[in-house]
């Protein structure tokens, strides 16, 4: 099984491929995630269903595991999420699925997010396991990633030990 590792297992999702006017502002380029993927003693399992061959190669280079071949439908995705310790995602269906499953979850949001995430809240009334991380300024994904880094560091005392707080 791809899940037999002793490190914490975290599933990132960085892009939305839905056809809405907010798709581009909701997606965080993978290159902003890459330093984070290399920084911690974590096994990353990409839950990104649609990704480019270049993104797949970037993941492979940082030791990430691409779960795309195992993701047929929401049931498959739910099974994958259940095998993980946490999920890090932008505002996608994976955020709602992981939240409904009660999985520890960080959701990266644009400065002006969808109404479901309320305004200036760091918690979701619908998903108690979710931490909401907002861009500090419009378009500032690097600022959101910096907040995520802090959130991961505070959730895991020592990521290399994999011991949650």
Domain layout of the chain by residue ranges? 9-164
CATH of domain 9-164: 3.40.50.2000
Of residues 49 and 87, the one with the higher pLDDT is 87
Instruction: Judge whether 26 and 16 are in contact, CB under 8 Å.
Output: yes
Query: CA 32 from chain center: how many Å?
Result: 12
The per-residue pLDDT for range 94-132, each reduced to its tens digit, is 999 999 999 999 998 877 666 465 566 666 667 889 989
Q: Count of residues for the chain?
A: 165
- pLDDT grade for 22, boundaries at 50, 70 and 90: low
Of residues 161 and 91, the one with the higher pLDDT is 91
Collect all residues with Cβ–Cβ distance below 8 Å to 1 and sequence separation of at least 6: none
163 DSSP β-pair partners:
158
The per-residue pLDDT for range 146-158, each reduced to its tens digit, is 989 988 888 775 4
> Alpha carbon of 71 to those of 81, 137, 161: distances in Å?
11, 33, 29
Confidence at residue 163, expressed as pLDDT on a 0 to 100 scale: 44
Q: What's the rounded Cα separation, in Å, for the pair 40 and 43?
A: 9
- Say whether pLDDT at 51 is over 80: yes
Confidence at residue 158, expressed as pLDDT on a 0 to 100 scale: 44
- Say whether pLDDT at 3 is over 60: yes
């Amino acid at each position: 099984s791809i899940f037999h590792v002793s490190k914490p297992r975290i599933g990132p999702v960085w892009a939305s491929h839905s056809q809405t006017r907010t798709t581009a502002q909701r997606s965080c380029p993978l290159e902003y995630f890459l330093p984070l993927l290399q920084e911690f003693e974590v096994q990353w399992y990409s839950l990104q269903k649609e990704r480019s061959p270049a993104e797949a190669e970037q993941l492979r280079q940082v030791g990430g595991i691409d779960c795309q071949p195992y993701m047929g439908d929401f049931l498959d995705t739910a099974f994958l999420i259940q095998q993980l310790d946490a999920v890090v995602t932008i505002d996608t269906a994976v955020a709602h699925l992981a939240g409904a499953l009660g999985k520890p979850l960080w959701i990266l949001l644009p400065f002006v997010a969808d109404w479901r995430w309320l305004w200036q809240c760091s918690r979701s009334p619908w998903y108690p396991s979710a931490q909401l991380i907002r861009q500090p300024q419009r378009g500032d994904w690097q600022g959101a990633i910096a907040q995520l880094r802090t959130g991961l560091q505070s959730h895991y005392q020592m990521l290399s030990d994999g011991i949650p707080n």
